[in-house]
Amino acid sequence: MSKNVVIIGGGIIGLSSAYYLYKSGCKVTVVDKSNFSSGASYVNSGYITPSHFVPLSQPGIITKGLKWMLNPASPFYVKPRLDMDFLKWVYAFKKSAKASKVEKATPILIDFNVLSRELYKEMNGSGDFDFHYERKGLLMCYQSDKAGEEEWKVGQRAIKEGLKVENLSPSEVKSLEPNVDLNIKGAIYFHSDAHMTPNDFMKDMIKFLKSEGVAFFANEEVLDIEIAGNSISKIITNKQELIADEIVMAAGSWSQKLSKKLGIKIPLQAGKGYSINVEEPTGITIPAILSEAKVAVTPMDGFTRFGGTMEIAGINNAINPVRVNAIAKAAKNYYSSLDDIKLETLNSAKCGLRPCSPDGLPYVGKSSKCKNLTIATGHAMMGWSLGPATGKIVSEIIQDKKTSLDMDLFHPDRRF
């Protein structure tokens, strides 16, 4: 049955939802407070990562986080502040950082990522629009024995779940990346992963959806949401009023503020990440994560992107030069061959805000408090990877179909 659907949020989750809702015959409108050219969906590392099945809230992260709070250049930084939503999130985060919760989430997160990878591949072969997509895997590069042991432990867990993973020596890595000089003791190689060029994909996806009749309203901020009974009756923006059969909340880090207008509490904190694009040839052909520094490296279409950090410091888009320089320093530390390449830092760096739930799992589904609202947010660092799968499942939920995956762990009403 064709429905009129309004999607709040034009990032990868919102666009993927628009794509699959359009494919199912729905009339779709996407509204966003930005101009559809910035944010986390444009500056991320473009990873499609079945290898990333360990949520942010994991055993030991609290201890690391306390230590890293003293270092403004650390990979994971939480800025303390007297804010009730933040304090509740921290408490829920601490409760979620348990081995039992990670173990329970592992299989479904792998399945979620694999589904999304296959949907990207299917989308690329559909003829709708062309985009850069490569499956070359992911190297988890380490410089210390301790980091190598930790990464291999994750790799062995992945093998049990059916993923192909290898523990490589420096010479074996060199055979894969002959044109770069890596300062490492080894790397764990996940064959399961793929990568893309996000900013190009977003631009081309929007162009395709517009050509198919999907409406886009840019620079429109949702000011209020009116309720009639237990359904949304009207969305009020700074420019107009929108009425629809179904609403999709895919507003990323702003979803918590909007959901409060409906009496729905979804704990979220914005996790800022940074990226630097290097236009000069680097010789890098395989995506990598520099383990100790938590820096991601992606060979994109025409440039190489270096990105990283998770900065929980509220909703703001200010560039912290200390954290940007830490990314550049790590890149040169691991890749000796980058010494002669100018890594522009402050001037070219961009940032994006990733919506982080306390347990590291996204919110996908309908809240019991509003029958025509589907929530799709909280994907943290896996937003790009889980985009198509989330969009397909959102479409299935709205069309009252059986979902492609069991979504119980991701229910918006779950307790922490």
H or E segment at 288? strand 288-290
Q: Helix axis angle, 12-23 relative to 198-211, nearest 10°?
A: 30
Domain coverage including residue 143: 4-410
Band the pLDDT of 199: cuts 50, 70, 90: very high
Does residue 345 surpass a pLDDT of 60?
A: no
CA–CA separation, 78 and 317 (whole Å)? 16
In a domain, 227, yes or no: yes
Q: Answer for the pair 215, 206: CB distance below 8 angstroms, yes or no.
A: no
In a domain, 46, yes or no: yes
The rounded mean pLDDT for the chain is 93
In a domain, 415, yes or no: no
In a domain, 349, yes or no: yes
Q: DSSP letter string over 43-97?
A: HS--EE-TT--S-SS-TTHHHHHHHHTT-TTSSEEE-----HHHHHHHHHHHHH-
CA–CA separation, 335 and 184 (whole Å)? 9
Tokens 């809230």 correspond to what residue? 57
In a domain, 122, yes or no: yes
In a domain, 343, yes or no: yes
Q: List pLDDT tens digits, range 103-155.
A: 999 999 999 999 999 999 999 999 999 999 999 999 999 999 999 999 999 99
CA–CA–CA angle 197, 198, 204 (5° rounding): 95
Band the pLDDT of 313: cuts 50, 70, 90: confident
CB atoms within 10 A of CB 183: 14
Domain total for the chain? 1
Task: Say which amino acid occupies 97.
Answer: A
Q: Answer for the pair 259, 266: CB distance below 8 angstroms, yes or no.
A: yes
In a domain, 416, yes or no: no
Q: Answer for the pair 304, 311: CB distance below 8 angstroms, yes or no.
A: no
In a domain, 109, yes or no: yes
Strand partners, 5: 28, 246
Q: Answer for the pair 189, 139: CB distance below 8 angstroms, yes or no.
A: yes
Nearest to 307 by CA among 345, 335, 341: 345
Q: List pLDDT tens digits, range 398-409.
A: 999 999 999 999
Average pLDDT estimate for 361-376: 96
H or E segment at 276? strand 269-278
Nearest to 357 by CA among 341, 376, 335, 332: 376
Q: Give residue 70's pLDDT.
A: 64
Largest CA-CA distance found in the chain, in angstroms, rounded: 65
Q: Give residue 97's pLDDT.
A: 85
Nearest to 375 by CA among 256, 271, 261, 233: 256
Q: Give residue 206's pLDDT.
A: 98
Token pair of 390 as six digits: 């989330």
Q: Give residue 234's pLDDT.
A: 96
The CATH number for 153's domain is 3.50.50.60
Q: Helix axis angle, 99-124 relative to 383-398, nearest 10°?
A: 80
Nearest to 248 by CA among 5, 411, 1, 2: 5
Q: List pLDDT tens digits, range 49-67.
A: 999 998 877 776 666 666 6
* Phi-psi group of 204: left, alpha or beta (phi > 0 → left; psi -120 to 50 → alpha; rest → beta): alpha
Q: Give residue 66's pLDDT.
A: 61
